[in-house]
Amino acid sequence: MARKNSFYLPPAQWPSRSGDKVLLDGAEAKHMVKVLRTRLGETVRLFDGAGHEGDFILLEATKSKAVLETVEVVSYDQRQSGLWLALGWNKSSRRGFLLEKAVELQAAGIIFWQAEFSQGKLPAETKESWEDKCVQAAKQCGNPWLPELGVVPGGVNGVVDYGKGFDRIILAWENQTGALLSPQDFETGKNLVVIGPEGGFAWHEAQYFMEHGFEAMSLGNSILRWETAAMYCLSLSFYAREAVSL
């Protein structure tokens, strides 16, 4: 059976039961009606990025709006575990690629912070384009969750404060020898991994993290690019959860 086309419906508009009508508008409706030429009576998949997905039938359509009827919805339990990445800010064209892969590999959250060697200045808030990248990736891979996105001000101090709610806090440090990060490090709990910007951590930043409970671990003997280091951690976490579920 062919996979149903997927579209994003914001959580605030998510229906509570079968038979409810929902309105899809803007870019999502245009993509459904004009680009994919969805026919009246056709069943599609909607998701809200907050753990809900379901089947919906297209009832009415214009160029910019679509009315659908809820057939069946599924809700997944709120995430109590997983991997959050705290990434040193980079003025990087590869950020979109990283966000896409974070959704495919089911990251729970991505935050950005200003490091001493960051390229450019950390924005004051998340960008709409970041969420758009995540939504497009979720459509492709079928993930009903979007990662939490955020920017944390205050440099290392801000990240340390952010890390207080996690079961395990890890510093992925290029100067660390031994203690290689592995899938077993992500089998349970909420895990936060801090990764430096393209230029790495300043010595005092790494020291500050370790003094405040972050466990320094290695990603191997190859010097990894910013997004490669993130992908490495995401892949380990994804493998750990998949292995546990088998």
**Which residue's entry shows tokens 């974070």?**
102
Q: Based on the fold, state whether residues 15 and 120 are members of the same structural domain.
A: no
Token pair belonging to 93:
């064209």
pLDDT for residue 178: 77
C-alpha separations of 14 from 64, 104, 139 in Å: 19, 23, 17
Geometric angle at alpha carbon 142, from 147 and 47, rounded to 5°? 70
pLDDT for 123 equals: 95
For residue 61, give the CATH number of its domain: 2.40.240.20
Parts of the chain with a pLDDT under 50? none
> What is the reported pLDDT for 149?
97
Q: Does residue 1 lie in a domain region?
A: no
Domain end among 75, 107, 135: 75
The string of pLDDT tens digits covering residues 200-230 is: 999 999 999 999 999 999 999 888 999 999 9
Q: How far apart are CA 191 and CA 140, in angstroms?
A: 26
Q: Which of 35, 59, 75 finishes a domain?
A: 75
Task: Indicate if 10 and 69 belong to the same structural domain.
Answer: yes
pTM of the model: 0.92
How large is the greatest C-alpha to C-alpha distance in the chain, in angstroms? 61
Question: How many domains does the chain contain in total?
Answer: 2
What is the per-residue pLDDT for 158?
Answer: 98
Angle between helix 226-245 and helix 95-104 axes, rounded to 10 deg: 0
- Domain residues for the domain of 165 are 82-245
pLDDT score at 79 = 74
Of the residues 25, 44, 75, the one at which a domain ends: 75
**Smallest Cα–Cα separation from 84: which of 60, 57, 113, 55?**
113
Backbone angles phi, psi at 21, to 5 degrees: -95, 145
